[in-house]
Amino acid sequence: MTKVSIIGAGNVGATVAQYLATKNLCDVVMLDINEGAAKGKALDLTQAIALTGGSAKITGTSDYKDTAGSQVIVITAGSPRKPGMSRDDLLKINASIVAGAARQSHRHSPNAIFVVVSNPLDIMAYLVWKETGVSTSRVIGMAGVLDSARFQSFIAEELKVSAEDVRAMVLGGHGDLMVPLPRFSTVNGVPITELISKKKIDAMCKRTANGGAEIVNHLKTGSAWYAPGAATAAMVEAIITGGRKLYPCSVHTGEKHGLPAVFTGLPVVIGKRGVERVIKLKLNKDEIAALQASAKSIEENVKRLNELQAEAAKPAAEAALSAAPAAPPADASTKATDTSAKS
């Protein structure tokens, strides 16, 4: 059976494992620095499968060797932002965690496709691509699938219809500047612009952009995991089954729509090769401007990430230089020979 490894056995990682195991799609390895948490959740899920049915093998570990030969690597590991922690602090901490996870995973599964869930998501997707050196088609960030599901649920709630009949599209970065696209969001083929007033659509777009924060405010501690887990599992399923699903995901722009060369949400077809192709929509001026603003914000954060990594590497480089032994002085005869040779 296909193997999928999930780096980070927190709420999101464990929920991804649960969805995949319940569908009997693949064997799952859950890796966490806290080996006990990974093994305990793997055992719990194994016992659940005895009731729900299936033959998937679920393993918990802290050793990257156990992830060898994975077709897909899902990276959910990272630290939440804590009181008193600056954005730079969070970026440095999670960049260190994600970079290490990407390198180690790639070492043991050089042909794997990476699905990135850790935040800040678009920047972490860029980092995984940078650290592994794999093609851009093999690094996909989970953002638009989740954001579109939130928009989809709000549309269904407003119209009192089944969410299954709704298709929503949200592009751009996974943050305040995400770009919901009402023109490309439909109910059984009917654009929502024909069914809902602009005022209500604008309110739903704003609620979608604040979707994660709304859940955090209710929970008080922690953040969403059911919908992020379901969104990630849907992406993994499309990859391992060759489903060729059209999803909005954080991918390398290829500078489409005049965007900088970063990872941001665009509509893509996902299959066995990862990103099979990027779909270029016919956006209007306002939509393009919003997408460019979102990508520009990501570009600025990527530049800051590169600066922080350079600052972190500088002391180590200086220490290595100072520890290096000095070259022995040349003796007199050597100097004489060198001089005569030059003359």
DSSP letter, residue 172: B
> 3-class DSSP state for residue 326?
coil
CB proximity list for 244: less than 8 A, separation 6 or greater: 238, 269, 270, 271, 276
Structure tokens at 248: 């909005």
In the set 106, 174, 218, 252, the catalytic residue is 174
Q: Is 106 a catalytic residue?
A: no
Cα of 177 vs its chain's centroid, Å: 17
Structure tokens at 58: 């679920």
Closest CA to 227 of 149, 135, 292, 290: 149
The HSE-up count of residue 267 (CA atoms within 13 Å, CB side) is 17
Q: By the 8 A CB rule, do 168 and 155 touch? A: yes
Length of the chain (residues): 343
Q: Give the strands of the sheet with 58-61, arranged side by side.
A: 58-61, 27-31, 3-7, 72-75, 113-116, 139-141, 245-252, 263-271, 274-278
**Residues paired with residue 186 on neighbouring β-strands, in sequence order:** 167, 191
Positions marked active-site: 174
